[in-house]
């Protein structure tokens, strides 16, 4: 696997950091979670839970663990370590000497208080790649503000451009601030590893979730929308193509995207509106973009008369880009995802394989390397003995003493 022999110390919690280290594990890195000996992994304590009695919102049984934990901790090892104790901190620094990458998403200032910040650890291991993921980054006047995915979607402007025109600001249906930032952190770490191969130098990677989302939405010409009297919220439309939207059918919804005028002519012929195909106004993309409502009404007249599957079949047969709007159940039964290894069956650390609980497979496919999420999410401290003994050289008596003192 591509990242074989790369050791990652995972100090992260909740979503952004754990998703980043999940991606690293999927490419073969040895990821070691550093969990709190008193509280364990934060995701394991977050609803929705799964245990011997199935899924539930509240935790009632020791077997109940967070489903997000089961998904995002696949392929990772775990030790428990009290970083606030002198002995725990010393053991952690020994681990740092043997690590390639560290990922953390503490609030700005926490790592300095624990004396595990970049400036401290680079002196111990100059080859270390240290990745920090925070709401607003390590610098700037808002650096110390606390953040969640929701606040980064709000502060980045993403919520202001999401939803139908005139509707309240809308959060994306999945935590994009966390997951996209995790992807950026993942790519940054790969770049830093390549840089280290050439120079021998480690470095600090400072990821701001707000920066990441801002960089994505501002690739669009949003700053001039008001000058053109266009609303920032465009719903499911795009201000380059028309028709380009979601349309109702007899039994559901589909999307149609017409990317050029030749495709528009094909659509007009298909829906029985041939007179619009070369019309001096309707035949021009710029006019259709400015008159989206009229265009959408014409398209919807046809889509409402036909089932989703029949419409998509006809549209694609005529070279028009279209697809059904799939829900979660549709995705789990979609043969294409199964063929690409994108549906994994989850396992529980004490209950084993969970046939009815699924997770996404690793999304990057390489021609010369295997990538996959290997193994079950393990409970906190599962690898204490292995790592402390085999990696740090502690004997059984020393490990038992650490456990008695609640350092591990």
Please tell me the distance from the alpha carbon of residue 377 to that of residue 71, in angstroms, as a whole number: 7
User: Coil, helix or strand for 147?
Assistant: coil
Residue 75 sits at the vertex; the CA angle it makes with 109 and 338, to the nearest 5 degrees, is 120
Do β-strands 30-35 and 7-10 pair in parallel, antiparallel, or remain unpaired? parallel
Please tell me the distance from the alpha carbon of residue 381 to that of residue 301, in angstroms, as a whole number: 60
Neighbours of 16 (CB within 10 A): 28
Please tell me the distance from the alpha carbon of residue 152 to that of residue 147, in angstroms, as a whole number: 7
- Both structure tokens of 50: 């799964």
Nearest in space to 235 (alpha carbons), one of 330, 181, 166, 163: 163
Looking up tokens 């969640």, which residue turns up?
A: 148
Nearest in space to 206 (alpha carbons), one of 145, 150, 141, 130: 130
Please tell me the distance from the alpha carbon of residue 105 to that of residue 10, in angstroms, as a whole number: 10
Looking up tokens 């402390």, which residue turns up?
A: 388
Candidates 178, 206, 211, 296; catalytic one: 178
Q: Is 178 a catalytic residue?
A: yes
Please tell me the distance from the alpha carbon of residue 73 to that of residue 379, in angstroms, as a whole number: 9
The burial of 396, by beta-carbon neighbours within 10 Å (0-12 exposed, 13-18 middle, 19 or more buried), is given as exposed
Looking up tokens 């390489």, which residue turns up?
A: 366
User: Coil, helix or strand for 82?
Assistant: coil
User: Coil, helix or strand for 314?
Assistant: helix
* Cβ(206)–Cβ(253) below 8 Å: no
Please tell me the distance from the alpha carbon of residue 174 to that of residue 65, in angstroms, as a whole number: 21
Please tell me the distance from the alpha carbon of residue 292 to that of residue 241, in angstroms, as a whole number: 9
Question: Catalytic site residues?
Answer: 178
């Amino acid at each position: 696997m591509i990242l074989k022999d790369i050791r990652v110390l995972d100090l992260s919690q909740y979503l952004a950091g754990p998703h980043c280290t999940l991606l690293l594990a999927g490419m073969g890195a040895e990821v070691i979670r550093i969990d709190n000996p008193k509280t364990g992994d934060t995701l394991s304590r977050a609803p929705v839970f799964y245990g011997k009695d199935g899924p539930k919102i509240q935790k009632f049984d020791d077997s109940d663990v967070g489903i997000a934990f089961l998904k995002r901790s696949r392929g990772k090892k775990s030790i428990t370590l009290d970083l606030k104790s002198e002995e725990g901190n010393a053991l952690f620094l020994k681990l740092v000497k043997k690590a390639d990458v560290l990922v953390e998403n503490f609030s700005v200032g926490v790592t300095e208080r624990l004396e595990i910040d970049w400036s401290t650890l680079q002196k111990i291991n100059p080859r270390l790649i240290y990745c920090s993921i925070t709401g607003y980054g390590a610098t700037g006047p808002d650096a110390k503000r606390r953040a969640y995915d929701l606040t980064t979607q709000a502060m980045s402007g993403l919520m202001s451009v999401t939803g139908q025109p005139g509707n309240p600001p809308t959060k994306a249906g999945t935590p994009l601030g966390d997951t996209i930032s995790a992807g950026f952190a993942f790519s940054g770490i790969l770049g830093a590893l390549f840089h280290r191969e050439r120079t021998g130098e480690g470095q600090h990677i400072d990821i701001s979730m707000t920066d990441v989302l801002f960089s994505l939405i501002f690739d669009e010409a949003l700053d001039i929308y008001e000058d053109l009297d266009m609303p920032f919220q465009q719903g499911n439309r795009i201000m380059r193509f028309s028709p380009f939207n979601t349309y109702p059918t007899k039994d559901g919804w589909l999307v149609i995207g017409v990317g050029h005028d030749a495709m528009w002519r094909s659509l007009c012929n298909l829906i029985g509106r041939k007179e619009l195909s070369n019309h001096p106004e309707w035949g021009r993309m710029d006019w259709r973009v400015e008159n989206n409502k009229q265009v959408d009404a014409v398209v919807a007249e046809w889509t409402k008369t036909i089932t989703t599957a029949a419409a998509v079949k006809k549209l694609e047969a005529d070279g028009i880009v279209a697809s059904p709007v799939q829900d979660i159940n549709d995705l789990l039964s979609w043969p294409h995802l199964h063929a690409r290894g994108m549906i994994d069956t989850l396992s529980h650390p004490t209950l084993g394989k969970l046939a009815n609980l699924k997770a996404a497979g690793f999304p990057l496919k390489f021609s010369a390397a295997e990538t996959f999420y290997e193994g079950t999410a393990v409970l906190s401290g599962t690898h204490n003995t292995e790592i402390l003994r085999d990696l740090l050289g502690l004997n059984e008596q020393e490990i038992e003493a650490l456990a008695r003192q609640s350092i591990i």
